[in-house]
Amino acid sequence: MESISPAACRRFILGCQGLWPGRRWAGKTGTAQALRAAESVQVDPVAVVAQSHDIALWGRVADYRPEYLQELLYQDRQFFDYGGALFIYPVEEFSYWMVEMKRRAAAPHWREYIKDNPKLFERVRAEMRARGPLGTRDLPGERVDRYRSSKDSGYAMYCLWITGELTIHSRKGRDRVYDFTDKLIPAQYLHAVPEAEAVDFFINKAIAQYGFVNEREFAAIWKSATELPRDAAAIKNKLNELLESGRVACVRREDSGETLYYPASRKPLLEDLASGRVPAAWQPLGATSEEEVVFLSPLEFVSARGRAKKIFGFDYTWEIYKPAHTRRFGPYTMPVLYGDQLVARTDMRVDRVAGALHINGLWLEERFMPTKEFWMAFNRGLLGFIHLLNVDKVDQVQLDHPISILNI
């Protein structure tokens, strides 16, 4: 197979992420399967509609409920959340992330702060040894001007967490509660793998998460994994090594001629798609994304950070941090996945007091001509979304289109 169509490319990326042709997992077990297939899911506290990670998992898991994720993270300990940009990872990856934690501990900012404040850190450790898991609200402290905490005790907790001594034990609301890592993570994962092994792991993991990468994206992955200055020769050598070892394969995209790299173990999936077949492992449990649209989280990996434009030709920016007068659409606008295309975006807000979902707008792509089948799929997706949000009604539906999505 020398080349693939744009449609096969889209379906491969979406399918590897569990977003096409429909939800193929269910329940708490399915939530764990979806998390592993996605490689990681970003956590975000903003909940204008729902939290981003819950929307992402709802799009992959039939009858998803947020408590499934909380149990997997903080009771079953199958996963952990980590990083300055907070992501959820399988616990069996902890040994690799310990390499990243050691890097953080050696970085001048964290190393010097810990070294310069020994009494503060010993007080935090002593309190946690005596009292057990604690959040930043549980310890008094001096006020500090830090992005991560307004108290020195809270910032010390964050330092101990980002460098690996603490792990998130649970949450009180959206606040983190920490405990010592060796109390929470199984002993077999409490060792850092060799640096070179970790670099290989992070490179392979990133390629798997992207689905396809071009040479520019591979260079960015290499730089992130190694934390070294960009070195064109080293990057090219690494890519050739992966190709020659059979861990990575390549294919040409028909419309652009661009060479794309992907995990060689997924070649049978790509061959199915190129032949017009849905891989057997991807058969949905219920409705397909042509029968029920999926609202994509603002931080959904396939569409965030410019990828929507590259993969779908869909120009998308999360506008929540833009001043209101500069927004084109709305603060919590989400792409709408229909089939294997992004065909619209919608801005929503939940009023928890009233138990209502407000749809502030729906904007169709100019190239997309909606059919009755689309509106039925939209309505079905909306009803599923309402179930996730646990609201009783949809109010203030403001659309520029003559078909009411609620009356088909």
Instruction: Identify the pLDDT of residue 408.
Output: 40
Tens digit of pLDDT per residue, the chain (408 long)? 689 999 999 999 999 999 999 999 999 999 999 999 999 999 998 999 999 999 999 999 999 999 999 999 999 999 999 999 999 999 999 999 999 999 999 999 999 999 999 999 999 999 999 999 999 999 999 998 888 888 999 999 999 999 999 999 999 998 999 999 999 999 999 999 999 999 999 999 999 999 999 999 999 999 999 999 999 999 999 999 999 999 999 999 999 999 999 999 999 999 999 999 999 999 999 999 999 999 999 999 999 999 999 999 999 999 999 999 999 999 999 999 999 999 999 999 999 999 999 999 999 999 999 999 999 999 999 999 999 999 988 886 555 553 455 544
The identity of residue 18, as a single letter, is G
**Residue 369 CB burial class (10 angstroms; 0-12, 13-18, ≥19):** exposed
Dist. CA 179–CA 170, nearest whole Å: 9
CA 195 to chain centre: 25
CA distance 337 to 344: 8
Regarding the domain delimited by 294-395, which CATH topology (the fold level of the hierarchy) does it fall under? Answer: Aminopeptidase (3.40.630)
CATH fold label, 117-185: Arc Repressor Mutant, subunit A (1.10.10)
Task: Give the C-alpha separation, 142 to 140, whole Å.
Answer: 7
Q: According to the model, what pLDDT value does residue 148 have?
A: 86
**pLDDT in the model for residue 146:** 87
Q: What is the pLDDT of residue 395?
A: 81
Cα 233 to Cα 222: distance, rounded to the nearest angstrom: 12
Query: Closest Cα partner for 261 from 41, 39, 36, 9?
Result: 9
Q: Give CA–CA dist 160/110, Å, rounded.
A: 9
27: alpha, beta or left, given left = phi > 0 and alpha = psi -120 to 50?
Answer: left
What residues have CB less than 8 Å from 45, skipping those under 6 apart? 51, 174
Phi, psi of 173 (to 5 degrees): 65, -120
Peptide bond into 284 cis (omega under 30): no
Q: Are strands 333-338 and 41-42 parallel, antiparallel or unpaired?
A: unpaired
DSSP collapsed to 3 states, the chain: CCEECHHHHHHHHHHHCCCCCECCEEHHHHHHHHHHHHCCEECCCCCCCCCHHHHHHHCCEECCCHHHHHHHHHCCCCEEEECCCCEEEEHHHHHHHHHHHHHHHHCHHHHHHHHHCHHHHHHHHHHHHHHCCEEHHHCCCCECCCCCCCEHHHHHHHHHHHCCCEEEEEEECCEEEEEEHHHHCCHHHCCCCCHHHHHHHHHHHHHHHHCCECHHHHHHHHHHHHCCCCCHHHHHHHHHHHHHHCCEEEEEECCCCCEEEEEHHHHHHHHHHHCCCCCHHHCCCCCECCCCCEECCCCCCCCCCCHHHHHHCCCCCCCCCCCHHHCCCCCCEEEEEECCEEEEEEEEEEECCCCEEEEEEEEECCCCCCCHHHHHHHHHHHHHHHHHHCCCEEECCCCCCCCCCCCC
25 phi and psi angles, rounded to 5 deg: -130, 160
**pLDDT attached to residue 396:** 60
CA torsion sign for 173, 175, 179, 181 is positive
Closest CA to 58 of 23, 21, 86, 14: 23
All structural domains of the chain with their residue ranges: 3-91+192-282, 117-185, 294-395
